[in-house]
């Protein structure tokens, strides 16, 4: 799949010939610096993607062992934080209290992008990677956060109408977290078609008519 080391880095320095020997170190690069400026998603589009995204993958750790949790979430623009919830006890809660430094990802995808060049095969996507510190919300904020989460996914439903109000007992059954975002980056690859090579026979057009990623998956 595409996104092998590109021809030049963000500063325009050649990288293609360096390959696996190219130096990459966080001592010298901010964690959200991207190598491909042409793919950078502006901040307002990052906010919009976080607003409509369905699933966040939150990376925490227990000492040396990383742990990625998929979860529903919402983005609180005012607090500049990602909010999600889990069991009251469990690994994500334990990890969060032990090491508050986290990273998370939210993405969406469109069409599958076939190519006759194996390194150009790709998929249309937009994604956000964020870095920050996670904190467990206190009881006063938990109910508000849970209602905000419900509001995102069930915007036409109301507490006390379609579903019951959140009780004090409910609040004791869940942990709710806010990740205060320190850095983020957004990346987009939404080309109509992937690049093709002249050095090999071109793909039959039928491969381009069957491009929705989920439809493509059904053919596997
Ligand atoms: C699309 C999606 C949305 C979700 N949304 C929510 C949500 O809004 N709220 C919520 O509470 N949970 C949600 N979950 C479940 C979530 O991923 C966790 O399982 C849950 O939060 C419990 O986490 P924990 O660390 O307490 O689990 P624990 O049970 O303490 O984890 C112990 C071990 O169980 C395994 N494990 C935990 N979670 C998963 C998983 N998802 N898949 C495979 N193995 C796992 C791991 O090996 C882990 O080390 C969602 C899952 C998916 C896929």
212 CB under 6 A from ligand 1? no
Which residue's alpha carbon is at the smallest distance from atom 40 of ligand 1? 69
129 exposed, middle or buried (CB, 10 Å; 0-12, 13-18, 19+)? buried
Q: How far is the CA of 143 from the centre of ligand 1 (A)?
A: 21
Name the average pLDDT for the chain.
Answer: 89
Share of the chain above pLDDT 90, in %: 73
Q: Average of pLDDT values for 204-219?
A: 78
Distances (CA, A) of 177 to 30, 60, 96, 105, 182: 25, 12, 9, 16, 16
Q: How far is the CA of 59 from the centre of ligand 1 (A)?
A: 12
What is the model's pLDDT at position 4?
A: 44
What is the model's pLDDT at position 168?
A: 95
**CA gap 96, 105 in Å, rounded:** 16
**CA gap 220, 217 in Å, rounded:** 5
87 CB under 6 A from ligand 1? yes
What digits encode the pLDDT tens for the residues 77-129? Answer: 999 999 999 999 999 999 999 999 999 999 999 998 999 999 999 999 999 99
Q: Which of 97, 121, 101, 102 is nearest to 111 (CA)?
A: 121
70 CB under 6 A from ligand 1? yes
Which residue's alpha carbon is at the smallest distance from atom 21 of ligand 1? 86
**CA gap 127, 125 in Å, rounded:** 6
Predicted confidence (pLDDT) at residue 67 exceeds the cutoff of 80: yes
Better pLDDT: 115 or 25: 115
Predicted confidence (pLDDT) at residue 35 exceeds the cutoff of 60: yes
Predicted confidence (pLDDT) at residue 1 exceeds the cutoff of 70: no
90 CB under 6 A from ligand 1? yes
175 CB under 6 A from ligand 1? no
Q: Where are the domains of the chain?
A: 32-218
Record the tokens describing residue 140, joined without a space: 């006063």
14 exposed, middle or buried (CB, 10 Å; 0-12, 13-18, 19+)? exposed
Collect all residues with Cβ–Cβ distance below 8 Å to 99 and sequence separation of at least 6.
60, 61, 62, 63
Q: How confident is the model at residue 27 (pLDDT cuts 50, 70, 90)?
A: confident
92 CB under 6 A from ligand 1? yes
Better pLDDT: 6 or 69: 69
**CA gap 96, 46 in Å, rounded:** 24
Give the SS3 label for residue 61: strand
Q: 32-218: CATH homologous superfamily?
A: Electron Transport, Fmn-binding Protein; Chain A (2.30.110.10)
**CA gap 40, 18 in Å, rounded:** 23
Predicted confidence (pLDDT) at residue 9 exceeds the cutoff of 80: no
What digits encode the pLDDT tens for the residues 38-55? Answer: 888 999 999 999 999 999
**CA gap 133, 26 in Å, rounded:** 18
Which residue's alpha carbon is at the smallest distance from atom 22 of ligand 1? 86
What is the model's pLDDT at position 18?
A: 56
């Amino acid at each position: 799949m595409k996104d092998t080391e590109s021809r030049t880095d963000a500063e325009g320095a050649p990288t293609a010939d360096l390959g696996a020997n190219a130096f990459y170190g966080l001592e010298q690069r901010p964690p959200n610096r991207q190598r491909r400026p042409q793919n950078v998603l502006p901040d307002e589009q990052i906010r919009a993607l976080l607003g409509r995204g369905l699933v966040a993958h939150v990376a925490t750790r227990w000492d040396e062992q990383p742990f990625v949790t998929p979860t529903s979430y919402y983005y609180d623009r005012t607090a500049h934080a990602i909010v999600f919830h889990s069991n009251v006890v469990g690994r994500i809660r334990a990890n969060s209290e032990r090491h508050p430094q986290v990273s998370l990802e939210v993405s969406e995808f469109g069409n599958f992008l076939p190519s006759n060049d194996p390194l150009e095969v790709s998929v249309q996507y937009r994604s956000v990677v964020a870095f920050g510190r996670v904190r467990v919300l206190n009881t006063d904020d938990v109910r508000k956060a849970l209602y905000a989460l419900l509001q995102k996914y069930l915007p036409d439903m109301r507490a006390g109408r379609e579903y019951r109000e959140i009780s004090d007992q409910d609040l004791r059954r869940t942990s709710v977290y806010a990740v205060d975002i320190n850095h983020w980056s957004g990346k987009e690859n939404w080309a109509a078609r992937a690049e093709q090579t002249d050095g090999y026979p071109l793909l039959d057009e039928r491969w381009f008519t069957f491009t929705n990623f989920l439809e493509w998956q059904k053919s596997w």
